[in-house]
Copies of this chain bind each other. A is one copy, B any other.
Amino acid sequence: MSILVVGSVALDSVETPFGKREEALGGSATYFSVAASFFDKVNLVATVGEDFPERYIALFKNRGIGIDGLVTAKGKTFRWKGKYDYDLNTAHTIYTHLNVFEHFKPVIPKHFKKSPLLFLANIDPDIQYSVLKQIRRPKLVVCDSMNYWIENKRKELERLLGKIDILLLNEAEARQFSGESNLMKAAQLIVSFGPKAVVIKKGEHGVIYFSKDSHFVAPAYLLESLYDPTGAGDTFAGGMVGFLSKSREINESSIRKSIIYGSILASFVVEDFSINRMLDITMKDIRARYEHFRKITKF
């Protein structure tokens, strides 16, 4: 199958207690695409400015990521600068320059309109909705969001929830959206808005998957070194949707495995800045860590 992703491509400047990087390749659609590209064909819909480095375009191409939907607009590329303190849990934004991303109105190229899998990365829920209206209903729609949209575009987000299959939120966002501190109650409330399931990402504490019929809980892969958590959530999504794209069927069993693959991809990406760690590894490394994960969770 093939995967369509709509989101951001950015230049990130990041500082953590372990070092810093200036204008490294970032953005939700970037992390997602690179992670998913281990499994299947990904087509990217995003926008960059005229200053976007040619070598990053080459990087997408080299990984087989389709860039027919990557539009170069007049102006500068989306830039974000953030800093993490010692605990690495919270990103402190130093600046966000939306630049060309401010006027991003994704147009889905004709040959992507029948994509069987769609990931709507974290952007304005109205824009996410507009993507769904341009295409044939995919077999699977996975969607991310964030605190800003929950607070400022609640109604638009609720409308979107009726049209998607799986919503990804982190722990705080799930509590914020539902007004419930208990995550099981929060998840129940979220699925009552329409999605078939919600995945609540708890970072170093693992993941909860909750559908109308069942739930699944998984710890995170234990890491000794964590350098930069930027992009972990989108990388998780990339591993998850990537694996599902290669699965014969999308059912409870393959979704559970896809969540573990998502966690494994995320466990790699935080071991270095930007997407760098993913450039070091092969499917063999991913499978080895997946098998190790199975070993350390077996009882």
Which residues of A are at the interface with B, using a C-beta cutoff of 8 A? 86-87, 181-185, 202, 205-206, 208, 214-220, 222-226, 253, 256-257, 259-260, 294, 296-299
| Residues in B neighbouring A185, C-beta threshold 8 A | 224
Known: A208-B222, A218-B219. A260 touches B182 (CB 8 A): no
Closest 4 CB pairs of A and B: A205-B205, A256-B299, A217-B219, A184-B224
Does B226 lie within 8 Å of A296, measured CB to CB? no
Does B216 lie within 8 Å of A297, measured CB to CB? yes
Q: Count copies of this chain in the complex.
A: 2
Of A86, A182, A219, most buried by chain B (CB within 10 Å of CB) is: A219
What are 29 contact pairs spanning A and B, CB under 8 A? Answer: A87-B181, A182-B223, A182-B224, A184-B222, A184-B223, A184-B224, A185-B224, A202-B205, A205-B205, A205-B206, A206-B206, A208-B222, A215-B222, A216-B296, A216-B299, A217-B219, A217-B220, A217-B296, A217-B297, A218-B219, A218-B297, A218-B299, A219-B219, A253-B299, A256-B299, A257-B299, A259-B299, A294-B299, A297-B297
With CB as the reference atom, state the residue of chain B lying closest to A202: B205
| Residues in B neighbouring A299, C-beta threshold 8 A | 216, 218, 253, 256-257, 259-260, 294
A290: min CB distance to chain B, Å: 10
| Residues in B neighbouring A182, C-beta threshold 8 A | 223-226
With CB as the reference atom, state the residue of chain B lying closest to A216: B296
A233: min CB distance to chain B, Å: 17
Give CA–CA (A183, B223) in the complex, Å. 8
Give CA–CA (A185, B224) in the complex, Å. 6
With CB as the reference atom, state the residue of chain B lying closest to A88: B181
A297: min CB distance to chain B, Å: 6
